[in-house]
Structure 1
Amino acid sequence: MVRIPSSPEFWRSPLRGPWFTSLLGVVLLAGITVLFVTGLLSYAAYNPDLSPGVNDKTPDKGLLGFYLFAWPTGPHWLYRLTQGVHVTLGITLVPVLLAKLWSVVPKLFALPPARSLAHALERLSLLLLVGGVLFEFVTGVLNVQLDYVFPGSFYPLHFYGAWVFFAAFLAHVLLKAPAAVRNLRGLRRPPQDDVEADGLTAPSPAPPTVSRRGALRLVGGSSAALFVTSAGRSFDGPLRQTAVLTPHGGPEPGEGPQGFQINKTAAYVSIDPRESSPDTWHLTVTGRGGTVRLDLAGLRQLPQHSAALPIACVEGWSTSDQWWRGVRLRDLAALVGPDEPVDVLVESLQRRGAFRRAALRANQVGDPRSLLALDVNGEPLSADHGRPARIIVPAAPGVLNTKWVARLTFGDL
């Protein structure tokens, strides 16, 4: 007899069953909840309600932005932590997700497609759940590699996709939680004794080649291997070399005081060496009190301050604290306006790439560690690190630490 995927006899693995699926589901419940929360925090860190059209890459978010708040500047490693957890955990959960999808694949082919209205709604939520989770994980992994092969901008795609997926995920959890609790009580029973088959347990299982616990060890070991070979991107030095399965799309750091990670080089974003030359470059500072133009020598005559801050990017990589030195943003604001901190629009010399213009909130401008940096680790900035001047702000995403700064406009944005 020819078996087809819609036939229960087609699926013969003795590993499938409610207990196996429920255990993987509990792991994903915890992990995906953390992913969702840290993803929302990452979105908030961009201050999307500040200066519409500049930081906001999802202009029609509406009620989905109900939770947004002014992103803090402390602790200075905040974004490094939240985004590092988001990306590393997402990669680590890939084997768990694949095992979970494998465990429930018979239900995707079950016929009839809808036995009742309630069953039809459950199948629809399952479609959104599976499609949503695959979309979020695939686009997230591609973003880590800077491979934007999908149409449109990553930011709105990942943002809206997350809300659709999490809504389906929450509905699925509410529907399946009672059964999952019952199934997990059978921890010490073999899979064929599961209480509730529910279309997962094979009616005529094939001989086992691995135990259920062996399969779970394989999944856990795979996740551990992905963690070990990806988490190093959040550190400098030898640990970065352990991230062999998550090679970063940007250039590798070199040697010396400025040998730490960057995303894009000056050549990549088409910086004109004549415009960025320390001999010809000028910074334009504008505010309600007027406009001031400063060359590099003029900036160095202003009070200089230092701060130890990391760079942390949405792709999940980060550096350790680097020593930056330059002029405080709040001191530059005071040159063209009132003493109290105000928002600022930062414009770069770069001609290509995202965030050529970026906005910072008043609390970020007012933090004494927020600098227009001229030096790093005791040396003038290199071209790839933003020479002659770049923004560095505690706890801000890397793209808001604008390089090759040409203009600062202080005021309510």
Structure 2
Amino acid sequence: MGSLTERLSNAAGARAAAVRQALDAPERTPRTAVVLGRIVGAGFAVCFLTGIYSHLQQHPLSWLPLPTRPVELYQWTQGIHVAVGTALLPLVLAKLWVVYPRLFAWPPVRRPVDVVERVSVAVLVSTSLLQIVMGVLNTFQWYPWPFSFVRTHWALAWVLVGAIVVHIGVKLPVIVAHWRGLRGADDGH
């Protein structure tokens, strides 16, 4: 049984290496991933903060008075929310393009932290794409789903922020090493 498992692992590892080599491009570096990650993270932070403001305007808390002046404040925050959210679509796709070959790392899990990373990335990618697509469809006031946009968008925002925090925690060594273009970190994205 051990030899069968070893042969399967060797075959899968060779295929994964071939796929990674085929997908290799000079732009797919940890530095590029970190730079795009900073931009995407800042964009999601802006959307999250403006989304909280919007939510509190629509569902006010009695103990939290919000400013009512200038009267255009809500329009500005919503405009920023929509503009940044829409701009995040190509940025998220670019980030995914840069880190896509990591999907074919072999073995896929070496340490327990790799499991956390893979799960957090799955949640992060799926939630971010769903949030962006739902938001864009909301701008057209088209709701091809049977659930409340506002409640779902609000709940997914918190899931997305949690996934971002976990992802940053797992990837912190790579982020720190490539934050200002320093060399010497592992090749993880």
Q: TM-score normalized by structure 2?
A: 0.82
1:27 matches 2:22: no
Residues 1:158 and 1:5: Cα distance change in structure 2 (over 3 Å) = farther
Q: After superposing the two structures, state which structure 1 stretch, 5-14 or 136-145, moved more.
A: 5-14
In structure 1, distance between residues paired with 2:43 and 2:18: 31
Q: 1:176 aligns with which of 171, 180, 183?
A: 171
Distance 1:195 1:43 in 2: 44
Q: Hey, which of these two has a bigger chunk of strand by percent?
A: 1
**2:156 counterpart letter in structure 1:** G
Aligned amino acid, residue 114 of structure 1: V
Amino acid at match of 2:128: V
Task: Give deviations 1:122-180, integer Å, cap 9, x for gaps.
Answer: 11111111111111111011101111112311011101111111101012123324422
Alignment of 1:158-169 (within 5 A): 158-169=153-164
Contact 1:136 1:161 in 2 (8 A): yes
Q: Which has the higher helix share?
A: 2
Corresponding position: 1:18 with 2:30: yes
CA distance in 2, matches of 1:160, 1:12: 37
In the alignment, is the contact (CA less than 8 A) between 1:19 and 1:183 conserved in 2? yes
Task: Give, in angstroms, the shift of residue 7 of structure 1.
Answer: 4.0
- The within-5 A match list for 1:6-405 is 7-47=19-59, 69-186=64-181, 195-199=184-188
Larger Rg: 1
Between 1 and 2, higher relative CO (CA 8 Å, sep ≥ 6) is seen in 2
Query: Quick check: 1:4–1:10 contact (8 Å CA) kept in 2?
Result: no
CA distance in 2, matches of 1:198, 1:17: 8
Assess if the C-alpha contact under 8 Å between 1:91 and 1:141 holds in 2: yes
Q: What's the offset of the Cα at 1:115? A: 2.0
**Secondary structure at the counterpart of residue 198 of structure 1:** coil
Distance 1:128 1:42, change over 3 A: same
Report how far residue 199 of structure 1 moved. Answer: 4.5
Aligned length: 176
Task: Spell out, residue by residue over 1:235-258, the C-alpha distance to the aligned partner (whole angstroms, 9 max, x if none).
Answer: xxxxxxxxxxxxxxxxxxxxxxxx
**Contact residue 16 and residue 105 of structure 2 kept, 8 A:** no
* Unaligned stretches of 5+ residues in structure 1: 51-67, 188-193, 201-413
Listed one character per residue, the Cα deviations across residues 317-347 of structure 1 (whole Å, up to 9, x for unaligned) are xxxxxxxxxxxxxxxxxxxxxxxxxxxxxxx
Query: Share of identical aligned residues, percent?
Result: 39
Question: Which segment is superposed worse, 116-125 or 104-113?
Answer: 104-113
SS class of match (1:13): coil
CA distance in 2, matches of 1:123, 1:109: 12
Judging changes above 3 Å, is the alpha-carbon distance between structure 1 residues 4 and 173 closer, same or farther for their aligned structure 2 residues? closer
* Preserved contact between residue 31 and residue 178 of structure 2 (Cα < 8 Å): yes
CA contact (8 A) 2:40 2:92 kept: yes
Deviation at 1:72, TM superposition (A): 3.2
Structure 1 residue 197 displacement after superposition: 4.8
RMSD (Å) for aligned C-alpha atoms: 2.4
Q: Which AA in structure 2 matches 1:14?
A: P
Per-residue CA deviations over 1:58-81 (Å, capped at 9, x if unaligned) read xxxxxxxxxx83443222111011
- TM-score scaled by length of structure 1: 0.39
